[in-house]
Structure 1
Amino acid sequence: MGAELNQKLFSAADNLRSKMDASEYKNYLLGLIFYKYLSDKLLQKVVELADMSLEEYDTQEKQTELYRELLSDEESKKDLIATLVDTLGYDIEPEYLFGVLTEQAKKNVFQLNELNKAFIQLSTEYVQFNGLFDDVDLQSKKLGSDDQQRNVTITEVIKKLNDVDVLGHDGDVIGDAYEFLISQFASEAGKKAGEFYTPHMVSDMMAQIVALGQEEKKLFSVFDPTMGSGSLMLNVRNYLTYPNNVKYHGQELNTTTYNLAKMNLILHGVDGEDMNLRNGDTLNRDWPMDEPYTFDSVVMNPPYSAKWSADDTFMDDSRFNRYGKLAPKSKADFAFLLHGYYHLKETGTMAIVLPHGVLFRGAAEGVIRKKLLEDGSIYAVIGMPANLFFGTSIPTTVIILKKNRTARDVLFIDASNDFIKGKNQNKLSEENIEKIIATYKERKDVEKYAHVASFDEIKENDYNLNIPRYVDTFEEEEPIDLAVVGAEIKELRKEKKVLEASLFETISSLQFGAENKEWIKGALEVFEHDE
């Protein structure tokens, strides 16, 4: 299914690739896929509400016909729309359905304005879609210099996207589509595209860890203060017994990405009342301030070593005031970590991805790290392979934090050598993840892989958490047998002699003209000299 989705996206992207870069056209593709999802979901709901079977109404055409029929009667129309709004949270008029627009596109009578009206209707009538389609700029000159050209461009894209099975897709459509679009075009989209996406396997590992020991909670809350596309938060529910009872709290600075996260949660069937999302700056002003402001799990993949104001007034901020120093202006890594940690429940678990520098850099970061270690806040440090993330090849570390611990030991796992090598990107296999999780649960020493360091050991290392200090992965090289090497050299010399003799014979027997006489003479002299 993944390969099929990727192929269709690649094909749809063809119509936009020459016109704009990947960081722009992904907005069109993802916005249109999202609109198709809303449209297809509505038709499926209509069949269900009419007490019909999806086996019988197995095409968009049949489903649309049924929808029009039910709307033709004023009485049933009122009831149907009220029920759709009540169950789905929205309705779409038949002429604006994605399938209907596609049919027009196939007959070349599609009008861009119709799609625009559809977006406006959803965005203005239903608060949850407010601003969600702003980045699908149908008037952009990049789509074409006039309305007709723009119409042609979107017509082609719609026709291709209509084949994507958004309801039957096994997994995370926006996430999968997004991951594909970034990986496929990472070189042209550059770092920007990868900033807000955590590769699926890393996300999966973090989700398993923060859910451990909390799987049976009847109500569960997850917080991601740098949520990007929202997939990191969504993954957590895969490891809970009551996945439908999760409250999602997230914040994102980039408006386009914030909208993407909202789409992603809606695509995953998350109800409006179960999501509390904010478009804003995580560090400059604390959020959430109102109850609930602590959560069962915190997951984060913040921008690495970003700049922030580090203003002195933050020393009075309850997120940072216990640690003696503020994270430096040029590296906000610890500011993000402390922000997330502040919002963690006493019984919760936090997982954050950061560059390795946070483990050993000195000055203010050293002061903060020492305080965290003295409090027993750092539970585990996992070293990840290099080149896992889009847009950066650096190796990263996943730090696990907990509150209220009496012990102050730290589990170190060096998973940096366990990965599948890819052409552009390294990947983690399921076995790689299972090994990390099993080691994390066991919390015991594993030769060349894991070590539980006591607080005294960490203190002796001057609170430096650089993984090689605790996990020795050094492999001794096999001793070289010089007698074997000598024998191999003798054998090679023998072979060389045989080849040279054969070459000498070949050159000697060549017919050549006067112009090549000198060259042949020189070549033969070389062989004679070697002899």
Structure 2
Amino acid sequence: MAQLENIEAIEKRLWSSADTLRSNSNYASNEYFMPVMGLIFLRHAYSRYLAVKDEVVKNLPKRGGKTRPLSKEDFSQKSAVFLQEKAQFDYLIALKDGDDRAQAVIDAMESIEADYQSLKGVLPKSEYQELDNDVIGKLLRDLNPEELKQASGDIFGRIYEYFLTQFADQKAHDGGEFFTPVSLVSMIANVLEPKRGIVLDPACGSGGMFVQSARFVEQLHENPMERLTFYGLEKNPTTIRLAKMNLAVHGLEGRIEKAITYYEDPHELAGKADFVMANPPFNVDEVDADKVKKDTRLPFGLPGVNKKDKVSSGNYIWISYFYSYLNETGRAGFVMSSQASSAGRDEAKIRQKLVETGHVEIMTAIRSNFFYTRTVPCELWFFNKNKPEHLKNKVLMIDARNIFRKVTRKIFDFSPEQLKNILSVVWLYRGENERFLNLVYDYVRQCIDESLNCFKDDFVPGFQKAFKDLNETVKPFIDTVKKDNAGNEALVNFLGCSPDFKEFKVYAAQVQKSFNKLSGNVNISRLKDFIENVLADLSARTKDISKEIDLVYKTACRMIEVCEQDMEAKENKLWNTREIIKARKKLDETRKAAVEQLKKVRYFYRQAAWLVKRFPDGVFCDVEGFVKLVDRKELQANDWSLTPGRYVGIAPEEEDEDFDFGETMREIHQEIESLNTQAVELAEKIRGNFEGMLKYDAN
């Protein structure tokens, strides 16, 4: 997917603009998300429409010298939505202040619903009548920033998911349970590899499982609508609307029915689904036992029932349903509470029966804080009714709790590379060793590419130029005081600075040549040797250069400080304070950019080294604290537990080479400052409320 360098900043800015709707409308936070998602839907649909329009028009058939009009079918083949002129975002943007924007948006939505019966009654319409004309105009403009107009790839798909994420974080709808973190959904889709057939999500929420399945097919350069058929069940009508919009905005269609899955099965897909994917509600204890006890979707029997004739926990109802929906070669992947994998009594009996089918394939432990609405850890379960005979009595245990990326203080996810690294274990387990080798090879190539990218103008050369500019700015003053301050340490250090990284540039080019020679005859042994020797040295050199760049910046800052405080530079006409501040700021900006680019070299080195350290021969093996292939005897000896941590052991603690203590302390200090400010504001508010109460009592 094509990315913009500052996409995260753009997403935050767009969200901030949309979030102002709360203070500019009569909507509460649990109401305004639908009109906002509606406009994001229109903008994303327009982005996909423009992306394929030229190709569609070029291939339109002609009769009698006339080209037939565009149609829905032309765009469906390209996974895009056909838009009449009134539904195109540029048309809505061009509306004047005197025009009725609310009605124009409603007309746009109705025109799309007229062409797509699956969206009939789904898109938000009447909600816009509550919004002020100027507010709608501002929202439309805010969602159409200049830098995104020419963006390629699925940029607005990412933005759509970002908005879903933010609304989930706010619990703006259905407690936020409509949204499953993208990294978990992506992992499920990429383990299942849904290339063709029926995909069922019996708790589909906003439809993320369908979108990620489609992306997997798109990566194979196939049309997902020709390969996959989507079926969903969801109890909440508003969530169904979100799901159908999410599908449509990605050029997809699905059959999503309103149903309480515990008691209803409107699609009647038991034994028919090729793939089942889901993130059901955890630990539900209000399922009516009498209503489900005869359900054919419970092939292993009913879980424990309490004194109120309710199923004690709905977890194993879901697990049984997911299994029963699969056809004879089907695969299932789903999120489940970590309590379920070692639950006792009746649930343990069901788990034993499941293991004895030979169809439990993979269990993956995920640490806490991956969800926006709950902090508990979870596990990903995978069933496969088409396991090869030699793996039938074994379960692959992966403990991924030590693998995560910090998104915010409270939220974690997988980076794209972390996700690939976990998936590579599954490839090795399935005997797809070539895919593992290719991944390691790609990391090595990316590492070398990033080392050469360091010498693009925005990075190391940019820092060198900024230092030169600062030098020239302070030179007139320093020339006049140099003799009198010949022994001044700060001045001497600054004048002695000459950041020169030619040696590293030459070395990086040599590494690339060596790699090109290796590429013609690559195998895991040669690749491992190259990583451990050549790439490790390249990575280490970037750390030294980062330290040198930081030292040059600190030296420059110290020189400025000494000149201003000890030499009264600000009183001298040759000291241009304004230009010096500007030059120092530029030096700091280029320093950060160069250091971040150098970090990328070490990052991709670490990915390659991480893999070959654990799988040095490029074939599957047990790795202490991470992965183990467990046979049925060991499962039985452990009460049929499917908890990965019970089998894999404890992982050795790893040190983060790029951990910056100073930067971390600055972040902590800033956070404390923010909390102190909030505490003062809160105390002032409480004092004001208290004084108000006293006045009220006095009256």
TM-score (norm 2): 0.56
CA distance in 2, matches of 1:41, 1:468: 44
Look up the equivalent residue of 1:233 and give its one-letter code.
F
Query: Does the residue aligned with 1:316 lie in a helix, a strand or coil?
Result: coil
Query: Does the residue aligned with 1:104 lie in a helix, a strand or coil?
Result: coil
- Equivalences for 1:19-38 in 2 at 5 Å? 19=25, 20-38=27-45
- Equivalences for 1:15-414 in 2 at 5 Å? 15-18=20-23, 19=25, 20-39=27-46, 51=58, 79-80=68-69, 83-88=70-75, 94-95=85-86, 97-105=88-96, 107-124=97-114, 126-134=116-124, 137-140=127-130, 143=131, 150-163=132-145, 165=148, 168=151, 170-171=153-154, 173-174=156-157, 176-184=158-166, 188-189=170-171, 192=174, 194-211=176-193, 219-240=196-217, 241=220, 243-244=222-223, 245-270=227-252, 272=253, 275-289=254-268, 294-323=272-301, 325=303, 329-403=311-385, 407-414=392-399
Query: Does the residue aligned with 2:379 lie in a helix, a strand or coil?
Result: strand
Q: Is the 8 A contact 2:336 2:380 kept in 1?
A: yes
Query: Does the residue aligned with 1:222 lie in a helix, a strand or coil?
Result: strand
CA distance in 2, matches of 1:126, 1:448: 50
Instruction: Note closer, same or farther for the CA distance 1:470–1:45 as it changes in structure 2 (3 Å cut).
Output: closer
Look up the equivalent residue of 1:289 and give its one-letter code.
E
Instruction: Note closer, same or farther for the CA distance 1:170–1:86 as it changes in structure 2 (3 Å cut).
Output: closer
Q: Is the 8 A contact 2:272 2:325 kept in 1?
A: yes
Look up the equivalent residue of 2:230 and give its one-letter code.
Y
| Gap regions ≥5 residues in structure 1 | 54-74, 144-149, 478-531
User: What is the aligned partner in structure 2 of residue 461 from structure 1?
Assistant: 638
Higher mean displacement: 93-102 or 185-194: 185-194
CA distance in 2, matches of 1:208, 1:332: 27
| Gap regions ≥5 residues in structure 2 | 430-620, 655-699
Deviations 1:462-516 (A, max 9, x none): 2223333212116599xxxxxxxxxxxxxxxxxxxxxxxxxxxxxxxxxxxxxxx
Query: Does the residue aligned with 1:446 lie in a helix, a strand or coil?
Result: coil
Percent identity, aligned pairs only, is 26
User: What is the aligned partner in structure 2 of residue 417 from structure 1?
Assistant: 402
Query: Does the residue aligned with 1:189 lie in a helix, a strand or coil?
Result: coil
Instruction: Note closer, same or farther for the CA distance 1:91–1:204 as it changes in structure 2 (3 Å cut).
Output: closer
User: What is the aligned partner in structure 1 of residue 474 from structure 2?
Assistant: none
Query: Does the residue aligned with 2:95 lie in a helix, a strand or coil?
Result: helix
Q: Is the 8 A contact 2:628 2:648 kept in 1?
A: yes
Structure 1 position 392, deviation (Å) = 0.9
User: What is the aligned partner in structure 2 of residue 449 from structure 1?
Assistant: 626
Look up the equivalent residue of 2:411 and give its one-letter code.
Q
Structure 1 position 433, deviation (Å) = 1.9
User: What is the aligned partner in structure 2 of residue 62 from structure 1?
Assistant: none
Structure 1 position 47, deviation (Å) = 5.6
Deviations 1:441-482 (A, max 9, x none): 3344211211222211111122223333212116599xxxxx
- CA RMSD, 1 decimal: 3.4
Structure 1 position 359, deviation (Å) = 0.9
Structure 1 position 395, deviation (Å) = 0.8
Look up the equivalent residue of 2:248 and give its one-letter code.
I
Query: Does the residue aligned with 1:424 lie in a helix, a strand or coil?
Result: coil
User: What is the aligned partner in structure 1 of residue 515 from structure 2?
Assistant: none
Deviations 1:228-264 (A, max 9, x none): 2222222224444363122222222222222222222
Structure 1 position 173, deviation (Å) = 3.1
Instruction: Note closer, same or farther for the CA distance 1:330–1:27 as it changes in structure 2 (3 Å cut).
Output: farther
Look up the equivalent residue of 2:404 and give its one-letter code.
F
User: What is the aligned partner in structure 2 of residue 502 from structure 1?
Assistant: none
Instruction: Note closer, same or farther for the CA distance 1:52–1:461 as it changes in structure 2 (3 Å cut).
Output: closer
Q: Is the 8 A contact 2:210 2:247 kept in 1?
A: no
User: What is the aligned partner in structure 1 of residue 422 from structure 2?
Assistant: 436
Look up the equivalent residue of 1:277 and give its one-letter code.
I
CA distance in 1, matches of 2:362, 2:50: 48
Look up the equivalent residue of 1:363 and give its one-letter code.
R
Query: Does the residue aligned with 1:383 lie in a helix, a strand or coil?
Result: strand
Deviations 1:87-123 (A, max 9, x none): 3478665455432222124x45344223223333443
Query: Does the residue aligned with 1:288 lie in a helix, a strand or coil?
Result: coil
Look up the equivalent residue of 1:170 and give its one-letter code.
G
Query: Does the residue aligned with 1:338 lie in a helix, a strand or coil?
Result: helix
Instruction: Note closer, same or farther for the CA distance 1:197–1:93 as it changes in structure 2 (3 Å cut).
Output: closer
Q: Is the 8 A contact 1:326 1:335 kept in 2?
A: no
Q: How many residues align?
A: 434
Deviations 1:55-110 (A, max 9, x none): xxxxxxxxxxxxxxxxxxxx989x52xx42443478665455432222124x4534
CA distance in 2, matches of 1:473, 1:101: 58
CA distance in 1, matches of 2:74, 2:49: 10
TM-score (norm 1): 0.72
CA distance in 2, matches of 1:475, 1:237: 38
CA distance in 2, matches of 1:285, 1:134: 27
Structure 1 position 323, deviation (Å) = 2.9
Query: Does the residue aligned with 2:128 lie in a helix, a strand or coil?
Result: coil
Look up the equivalent residue of 1:304 and give its one-letter code.
F
CA distance in 2, matches of 1:3, 1:476: 31
Instruction: Note closer, same or farther for the CA distance 1:446–1:125 as it changes in structure 2 (3 Å cut).
Output: closer
